Amino acid sequence: AAQRIFNFSAGPAILPPEVFERAAAAVRELGGDGHAKGAPGIGLSLLEISHRSQDFGMIHDRAVELVHEVLGVPKTHQVLLLQGGATQQFAMVPMNFAAPGSTTAYVDTGAWSTKAIKESQAVAAGGGRGHETAVLASSKDTGYDHIPALPEHLPAKAATAYLHVTSNNTIFGTEYEAMPAVDLPLVVDASSNIGSRPMGLERATIGYAGAQKNLGPSGVTLVWLERSWLEREVPAGVPNILRYASHAAKGGLLNTPNTFGVLVLGLVLEWLRDKGGVAGMAERNQAKADALYTVLDNSDLFAPHVPKAHASSRSRMNVTWTLGGAAEDGREALTKRFLAEAGAAGFSGIKGHRSVGGCRASIYNAFPLEGVTALCEFMTEFERRA
Ligand code: PMP
């Protein structure tokens, strides 16, 4: 029998086996009720039907409805299932909403925030409406090992287009405990912790998340934004495809969406609903993260990237650590050995991002507690032998 593999990939990442089953069925033949489960089938694969067909229309509308119902996005917000990834949202947000003479404000919590900041600057440089990009706080100086506090005096609301935060930092393994309580429109990149626990993400003025961690496959990006913002004037030079209002005016089907991605996103949200929703998930995710941090905090060999002193900044989705202990030059060899042995033991995808080094265990919603328990035992055993 094949060895059990525990998939710790940072993304595209693990999805529930039930979702794979249902998605596979829909690829073979779409159920007549618009669901992979339903019978009788329509005699066609999901992959070969028009995005304008009634069958796909049902799948799309159902996915949008589940975003409201399961993720709690209020009906005051427009939901869009776009392409281009979270990376495209880095650009679309300032293109659409950096008003003339305004400041777009950012918190710099790592590589993804930095990319978002650069896109705001690029939009201004490329003939935008002359906005400024301000970085209000950063934890760069300490290797992004915590979520930095906002300054006491925030920029004036009237002159600030929005405040952008990354709710979970996939690479460094930090996460906001709660959304900052500020009197500014909040824009949230929730790519790597959407749907993982109740934390108010859904109430952001604009939120977005690439689906490929907690929501589905790559190639579909969940966006939600306050409907009133769709009325705002956008410069003539912004192409139609990059305007939220154009997508919204066509009911989210301005052009051909990732039909497969939309189906799977809906299936994942049904699974999430059946598992007790975001609140039910929160409990399991906390237990998984606690188990790993406990091993890290009690080890002389493994050192968490986010120290215990910054426990409130620790991510429940991406747990990062390095191998310490021996002399600097011995570390690299030890890390290599650890990763090789972990890989051979069936722990897949725990090599850390190159910018942090070491290891990263991504333990998204669909990741089972037993996989975390097995990794904890493996780490404890490795330390005993090292
Ligand atoms: N933001 C965060 C927090 C991410 O983790 C990622 C991807 N891992 C991105 C943005 C970029 O997403 P995409 O590749 O979908 O553009």
Nearest ligand 1 atom to alpha carbon 115: 10
Residue by residue, pLDDT tens for the chain (386 residues) are 567 899 999 999 999 999 999 999 999 999 865 555 555 789 999 999 999 999 999 999 999 999 999 999 999 999 999 999 999 999 999 999 999 899 999 999 999 999 999 999 999 998 777 899 999 999 999 999 999 999 999 999 999 999 999 999 999 999 999 999 999 999 999 999 999 999 999 999 999 999 999 999 999 999 999 999 999 999 989 999 999 999 999 999 999 999 999 999 999 999 999 999 999 999 999 999 999 999 999 999 999 999 999 999 999 999 999 998 655 667 889 999 999 999 999 999 999 999 889 999 999 999 999 999 999 999 999 999 98
Same structural domain, 253 and 284: no
Residues 201 and 297 in one domain: no
| Ligand 1 atom at shortest distance from the alpha carbon of 170 | 5
Cα–ligand 1 centroid distance for 289 (angstroms): 21
Position 23 in a domain: no
Q: How far apart are CA 253 and CA 82, in angstroms?
A: 9
Does this model's pTM top 0.90? My answer is yes
Residues that constitute the known binding site for L-glutamate: 52
**Same structural domain, 177 and 215:** yes
Q: Are residues 331 and 236 in the same domain?
A: no
Nearest to 145 by CA among 295, 321, 339, 352: 321
Q: In terms of Cα–Cα distance, which of 160, 162, 156 is closest to 93?
A: 162
When divided into structural domains, the chain yields a total of: 2
- pLDDT on residue 4: 85
What residues are annotated to the active site? 112, 189, 213
Asked if residue 110 belongs to a domain, the reply is yes
Q: CA 29: distance to chain centroid?
A: 30
Report the CATH number at residue 214.
3.40.640.10
Domain with 254 in it: 50-274
Residues 68, 171, single domain; the answer is yes
Residue 19 neighbours by CB distance under 10 Å: 23
- Which residue has a Cα nearest atom 10 of ligand 1? 86
Q: Where does ligand 1 bind, in terms of residues with CB under 6 Å?
A: 11, 85-87, 112, 166, 170, 189, 191-192, 210
Are the C-beta atoms of residues 40 and 253 closer than 8 Å to each other?
no
Do 108 and 228 have their domain in common? yes
- What is the ipTM score, two decimals? 0.99
For ligand 1, the distance from its centroid to the CA atom of residue 41, given in whole angstroms, is 35
Residues 249, 109 within the same domain: yes
**Distances, alpha carbon 67 to alpha carbons 95, 139, 249, 322, 358, in Å:** 25, 32, 19, 36, 35
Residue 263 and residue 282 in one domain:
no
